[in-house]
Structure 1
């Protein structure tokens, strides 16, 4: 019996300039858009892929074609996709990545651990964080560079696949480690990955933000990791500072280089100072030190975890 079609992929050739001009946030197109460099350093050989739940109609094809004028007269390639197709696609091209003592690989590309290091099996799937994105690999490098430090309490906020929490567990096996995510499916993925990589002792928490009871009960943390996005990092700066011990290390990622000043300013307002940043292409990873200011609950925290906190300097 053939697998059931659950989505569609429509592809057009495009140029790099056309790919960079696409702003999905401003387009009234009901599709997930991706652009890919097909030939390295060839600005004319890029591809636009659009993923839709329904088979694309003439209006959708016309809207997509308008994004790639260079493809005028070229027929789109339209493919039905099944669950099996998505699994196969998710593993294509994901060669193992190496950062310091860590190597991250998928089932399709198994690899041995480096001497004195650790290999992690992280298949692409429902959660972000295979190690192949610059933000995640940059965080791995940042953690690896701190291997000679001593951390007793670590939290990974927005854990995704659990990879950064696993790296912390390898570097500081005696530490208390919490991995949290707003998405329950991410925590489910982390549980699967923890079992596949024989990782134990990581406390998994589904939470919106950093001030849920399950998180604050184990605060303060002397290492706070948050690989999310710039907007949430800015809005969550007070609560991430709230759970950080005085002088704690805070590693932030998911922000573009153009957003660095804004994120650093938000944390500076909470007493944190920038110690290092690592730029990787358009993305930047930050390492900050928490100040002596401490956030303590002035009233019992709101059930949603955001009210009732006051700054105690």
Structure 2
């Protein structure tokens, strides 16, 4: 079989893994960290997936992320398409959050009574529901089911899962799903077809500055499951497209980053309503101010590379 991509594996600590997960890292690879031993701060793993065989410069850049692995030879593997399919489904048991079940092709399950099952296979985009941030957002959305939303946006949609949940909960609402990565938007379109989800507008966009997004504003429900740094920098533009009293769900941040994110949105007139903490990760629900927020200066889109959360 032909080689489709490469995988580099190095050991790391939990602190190094958290720094990788929380930071915008300019490396041409998909980075994933995994806890090797439950509740053990020292035994984690970094897996880097690349389109090309790693050269010395790439290996040096990956080593720099995990200083604790100094002296350890990286494991380098050539991956075929079959390898990707096997890895993407390995260990991904169905998850259940409220009325929602999320499963892969390898572990199909029926929906619960009155609920909805989504088939989301791991692959080119992230957000299968198995990461605490995505499952936490699903739970938050489920708890909002009785509210009436008319205009919903999912910024950094990944696989489209959260947009699909919004469409299920509020079938009459307008729903838009955006991502900075065109591949993620393609995956969302494919997943929508697989799950029989219709009526979601898909947009490739950097943050909330696209005309396609602002033309549909204001939104009464905003979902942004990305990273803490981009959430802070994007707070003014997200608040600017929010309707008065809109509900805002934020995720992709560690508990240690919560105060910084809350403060950034408080400066834009938003108030914190609820927190769902899942391990080291935190999901926030906020309410936009009683008046539409207007930024004092135009939002600065610089430094946005890598704002989508890889989960």
TM-score, L = length of structure 1: 0.81
Show structure 2 runs of 5+ residues with no match.
302-311
- 1:132-188 deviations in whole A, cap 9, x for unaligned? 111111000000001111111111111111111100111111111111112111111
**Counterpart selection for 1:123 from 96, 121, 124:** 121
Supply the distance in 1 between the matched residues of 2:99 and 2:107 (Cα, whole angstroms).
Answer: 18
**Counterpart selection for 1:232 from 222, 230, 233:** 230
1:54 — aligned with what? 53
Matches within 5 A, 1:246-261: 246-261=244-259
8 A contact 1:7–1:55 mirrored in 2: no
8 A contact 1:270–1:293 mirrored in 2: no
1:150 — aligned with what? 148
**Does 1:132 find its partner at 2:130?**
yes
1:9 — aligned with what? 7
Supply the distance in 2 between the matched residues of 1:82 and 1:43 (Cα, whole angstroms).
Answer: 32
Supply the distance in 1 between the matched residues of 2:221 and 2:100 (Cα, whole angstroms).
Answer: 19
Kindly tell me: are residues 240 and 51 of structure 1, through their superposed partners in 2, closer, same or farther at Cα, counting changes over 3 Å? closer
- 1:3-56 deviations in whole A, cap 9, x for unaligned? x124433556x5x7x454466579999876655344545678655545553267
Supply the distance in 2 between the matched residues of 1:40 and 1:135 (Cα, whole angstroms).
Answer: 18
Matches within 5 A, 1:290-301: 290-295=288-293
Supply the distance in 2 between the matched residues of 1:26 and 1:246 (Cα, whole angstroms).
Answer: 31
- 1:232-279 deviations in whole A, cap 9, x for unaligned? 111111111111111111111111111111111111111110011111
**Does 1:241 find its partner at 2:230?**
no
1:196 — aligned with what? 194
Kindly tell me: are residues 30 and 245 of structure 1, through their superposed partners in 2, closer, same or farther at Cα, counting changes over 3 Å? closer
Supply the distance in 2 between the matched residues of 1:194 and 1:115 (Cα, whole angstroms).
Answer: 22
Supply the distance in 2 between the matched residues of 1:178 and 1:29 (Cα, whole angstroms).
Answer: 29
1:79 — aligned with what? 77
Q: Which of the pair has the greater relative contact order for Cα pairs under 8 Å at 6+ separation?
A: 2
2:103 — aligned with what? 105
Kindly tell me: are residues 296 and 147 of structure 1, through their superposed partners in 2, closer, same or farther at Cα, counting changes over 3 Å? same
2:169 — aligned with what? 171
Supply the distance in 1 between the matched residues of 2:89 and 2:276 (Cα, whole angstroms).
Answer: 27
Supply the distance in 2 between the matched residues of 1:31 and 1:176 (Cα, whole angstroms).
Answer: 34
1:94 — aligned with what? 92
Kindly tell me: are residues 20 and 172 of structure 1, through their superposed partners in 2, closer, same or farther at Cα, counting changes over 3 Å? same
Cα-Cα RMSD? 3.4
Supply the distance in 2 between the matched residues of 1:29 and 1:296 (Cα, whole angstroms).
Answer: 35
Kindly tell me: are residues 67 and 200 of structure 1, through their superposed partners in 2, closer, same or farther at Cα, counting changes over 3 Å? same
Show structure 1 runs of 5+ residues with no match.
305-313
